[in-house]
Structure 1
Amino acid sequence: MKAGMRRWSIVAAGLVLAGTPIVPILPGAAPAIAQESGLSAAGFQAYLPQLRARAAAAGIRQSTLDRIFPTLEFSARTVQLDRAQPGGTPGSNANPPFAPYRARQLTQALIDRGRSRYAANAAALNDIGRRYGVPPSILVAIWGKETGYGTIMGDFDLLNSLASLAYEGRRRELFTTEFIATLRLVERGFPRDELKGSWAGAAGQSQFLPSVYLRVAVDGDGDGRPDIWRSSLDALASIANYLRDAGWRPGETWGTAVRVPAGFDRAAVATRLRAPRCPAVFARHSRWLTAAEWRRRGIANSLPDRTLASLLEPDGPGQTAYLLTNNYRVILDYNCSNFYALTVGLLADSVAR
C-alpha cells in the first residue's frame, strides 16, 4: 500500500477512541443530515451497481458479490459521524493545549490496566518485542489507546459503513478500496456478521482498516490465522509488524520530556519545510537537530549524542516540552495526531515502570 494510504488508515478511523471530540448525534439527526446532503437510501441503492462493478474488476468472486450486495444498507449515521469530524467548524482552535487532553486520556486507571495486561501477557509480549524490535510497552500503549485493551472495538457493520462512505463521495476511492478489501476478508472466511468496527472502517483490537489487515496482520498466538478481533496476541503482533514496516528503530526511545530555557531562540530552530502529510501536525515541530546540539543550545536531555530529535511544545512556551525521535514519527504513522502520539509514548513509559 502507498504510504499516504497507510498513514491515513488509522488516523480517520480511530478519532473517537483517540479522544477527539465528536459532535453529538441527536435522535433523527443522521437521516436528516444525509437528506440535506442529497444522500438517501434510494440513492445508495442506485450507486451500488457502480461499486459492484469496481469489486468485480478487482477480482472479487461473483458468488461473493451475489451474496453480499443484496444485504447492503445505507448507514446515515456513518455519514453523519464522518461529516461531524473536527476541522470543519470555522473558528475552531487549531492548536489547543495538550494538558487538558492528557488529563482526560492518560488516566491512572488506563495505566493500571495496561500494567495488568502487560504482566498477564509478559512472556508472549517479550517474544513479540524480540521478533519485531518494538518495545512491548509501546504495543500495550497503542492497544490501550485504540480500544481500551480490546474492550471497545466498535459495532458498525464494516461493509455497510464503507459502502455508505464510498457513496457519500468525498473520499470515494479510499473507501471503495477499503470496501473491496473487506470483501477479501469475507472470501478468507470471516463471517459477515463478525466484520464489525468503527464507523470509518477501523476494526479489531488494533483498529486496522481492512487493507491494513491484509498487508500487515500476523498470527501472534500460533493458531495459524491472524484474528485481530478475538486474539489479543494476534492484534499485538500485528501492531508490532505495522510499526516495524513503518520504520521503527529498535533500541531508540520515542522521545523525552525537556524544559526549554528562558530566552531560547525558537526562530533559529524553526522548520522551513512543509510536510507532505499531516502538515498541521508537523508544523508544530522544530527542525531536526542532534541531541548534542540541543544540549549546546541549552536544552538538557539524556538522549545519545547523535540521536536526531525535533522539539515540540504542545502547551506553548514555558511548559513541558518534548524532544521527539524518528520513532515518535512512526507512532504518528499509526495515527497522525501529536496528542495521540504523545499519549501513547507517555502511557508506554508509565506501563513499563
Structure 2
Amino acid sequence: MPDRPLVAVFAMILSAMPVMAQQAEPPGAQAAPVTVAAPAPSAEDAAFAAFLGGLRPRAIAAGVRPATFDRETAGLTFNPRVISLDRGQPGGTPGGPPGVMDFAPYRRSHVTQVHIDKGRTRYQRLAAPLAGNEARTGVPGKVTLAIFGLETGYGSFTGNFDLIRSLASLAFEGRRRELFSAELIAALKLIDQGVSRETLKGSWAGATGYPQFLPSTYLRIAADGDGDGKADIWRSEPDALASIAAYLKDAGWKPRTPWAVAVLVPSGFDRTAIAPKLTSPRCPRVHQRHSRWLTIAEWKAKGVLFAGAAVPPDTELASLIEPDGAGNTAYLITTNYRSILDYNCSNFYALSVGVLSDEIAR
C-alpha cells in the first residue's frame, strides 16, 4: 500500500470508528441511558438556601402569600457581584476637619447642559401635573424634576439587577441584614400587589423605578400622578414625579421656601464663630460641613452678601456651606436642603439637585 500522510490515515480511522461501534452492537440493543449526578451545592449555596428558609415564616407573618415566597425564591442563588459593589462604596469616618469638598468638578459632570435641557423640556410638557403636585405637597416641580434627572437620567437608566436576588444576597451577607430582609419582604409584597418580577429591576442596592425607591418606600410613599388609579413609578413620569414630591413632603419640605440661596462670604470672616456645636446622628460627615443655624437677618449682620434672587425672609433659619472653599460661591441652605439629604445623604447630591432645579426653571 502506498504511503499516505498521517493526517489522512487518522481521518480514515476516525471515520471508521462509528461504523465499527455500530457493527459490534447486538441487533435490537439500545444504548443505556447515561446518568450524570448533579453537583452538590456549595456550603455557601446551602447556607443561602437555609437563610431564605428561615426568613419564610417572617415574610408570611408580614402578609406575603406562601405561594409567592416559594415561587419567587425557588432556585434563587447568591449574587457575589452585589456584595462586591456594596463593599466597594466609598465611605468616610466622622471626626476631624471636613476640609474643602471641591464641588465644582462634580457639578460640571452632573449638572450638564443635557440634564438642564431635558429638564426644561419636561418642565413645559408636564406643567399641569407638576403644578398639581406642588399644590398638594408644596414641593416645586423643578425640584422633583432635578431628582428624576439625577437619579435615572429622566428614566433613561434604571438598573437591570433582579431586585429579589439582590436584596436576598444583601440580607444574607449580614452587614445590614435587618434592613435588606425587610426590603426583600417589601418586594415580595409588591409582587402580591400585581407588580411583576420582570418589572422589579433596579440598582444592585435594591432601588427601583424612575425615582429609585426601595420597595418599602414605594409601599409607604408612591403616588398616582396621572389619575389612572395606579402608582407606576416604572413607566409613568407623572407617577414618578408625584411620588418624589410625596417623599420630600414626608421628609419635611417647607412650602414657598427655597432650598438655598447663593451667597458671598466676606474676606476675613470668622468661621470658628459659626462652627456646628452638635454631631448629627445620621451622616455626621455630611452635616459636619454645615455651620450652625442662624437667621437670615443674622447672616446679613455678619456681612454675608446675597448673590441669589430668592432671599428667604429675615426670620428664616439657614446654615452656611462652602462647597469649594473660601472665596468661592457659598450657599445658605434652608431646612429644605435637609429634605433633599433625606433622599440621598450626600452634599454633592443635594447641591446638584438644588443647582439643577434652579437651572431648569431659569
CA positional deviation for 1:56: 2.3
**Corresponding residue for 1:281?**
286
Q: 1:71 to 1:120 in 2, by over 3 A?
A: farther
Pairs within 5 Å for 1:257-272: 257-272=262-277
**Take 1:41 and 1:352, find their aligned partners in 2: how far apart are those partners?**
52
Contact 2:171/2:178, CA 8 A, preserved across alignment: yes
Superposed CA RMSD:
1.7
Instruction: Give the superposition deviation at 1:42.
Output: 3.8
Q: Distance in 2 between matches of 1:190 and 1:109?
A: 32
Match of 2:183, SS?
helix
Write the distance in 1 (CA, Å) between the matches of 2:343 and 2:92: 23
Secondary structure at the aligned position of 2:159 is classed as coil
The answer to whether 1:98 aligns with 2:72 is no
Contact residue 154 and residue 198 of structure 1 kept, 8 A: yes
Report what 2:37 is aligned to.
Answer: none
Q: Relative contact order: is structure 1 or structure 2 higher (C-alpha 8 Å, sep ≥ 6)?
A: 1
How far has the Cα of 1:315 moved from its partner? 1.3
Q: Distance in 2 between matches of 1:227 and 1:123?
A: 18
Gapped regions of structure 2 (runs ≥ 5):
1-41
Query: Do 1:259 and 1:319's aligned partners in 2 also have CA atoms closer than 8 Å?
Result: yes
CA distance in 2, matches of 1:174, 1:60: 17
The 3 A distance-change label for structure 1 pair 39 and 206 is farther
Q: SS at the partner of 1:206?
A: coil
- The Cα shift of 1:246 comes to 0.9
User: By how many angstroms is 1:94 displaced?
Assistant: 6.6
Deviation at 1:192, TM superposition (A): 1.1
How far residue 44 of structure 1 moved from its aligned partner, in angstroms, is 1.8
Q: 1:125-144 alignment to 2 at 5 Å?
A: 125-144=130-149
Letter in 2 for 1:225: K
Give 2:178's aligned amino acid: E
Residue matched to 1:19: none
Is 1:183 the counterpart of 2:188? The answer is: yes
Shift of 1:303: 2.6
Question: Is 1:68 matched with 2:93?
Answer: no
**Per the alignment, in what secondary structure is the counterpart of residue 318 of structure 2?**
strand
Would you say 1:219 and 2:228 are equivalent positions? no
Q: 2:323 is matched by which residue type in structure 1?
A: P
8 Å contact kept, 1:52–1:69:
no
Which position in structure 2 is the counterpart of 1:9?
Answer: none
Match of 2:184, SS? helix
- How many angstroms does 1:39 deviate by? 8.6
1:87 correspondence with 2:91: yes
Change (3 A) 1:274 1:94: closer
- Specify the code of the residue in structure 2 equivalent to 1:53: P
- 2-side partners of 1:275 and 1:303: how far apart? 25
TM-score by length of 1: 0.86
Matches within 5 A, 1:3-42: 40-42=44-46
Q: Which of the numbers 307, 327, 334 marks the counterpart of 1:318?
A: 327
Unaligned runs of 5+ in 1: 1-37
Tell me by how many angstroms 1:40 deviates: 3.5
Match of 2:255 in 1: 250
Count of aligned residue pairs for this structure pair: 313
Cα distance in 2 between the residues matched to 1:88 and 1:237: 33
Question: Contact (CA 8 Å) 1:154, 1:203: kept in 2 or not?
Answer: yes
Native 8 Å contact 1:157 1:195 kept in 2: yes
Counterpart for residue 58 of structure 1: 62
Residue 192 of structure 1 aligns to a residue in which SS? coil
Conserved 8 A contact 2:63-2:189: no
Can you list the C-alpha shifts for 1:162-192, whole angstroms capped at 9, x where unaligned? 0000000000000000000001001001111
In the alignment, which residue of structure 2 is the partner of 1:77? 81
Q: Sequence identity of aligned pairs in percent?
A: 60
**TM-score, structure 2 normalization:** 0.83
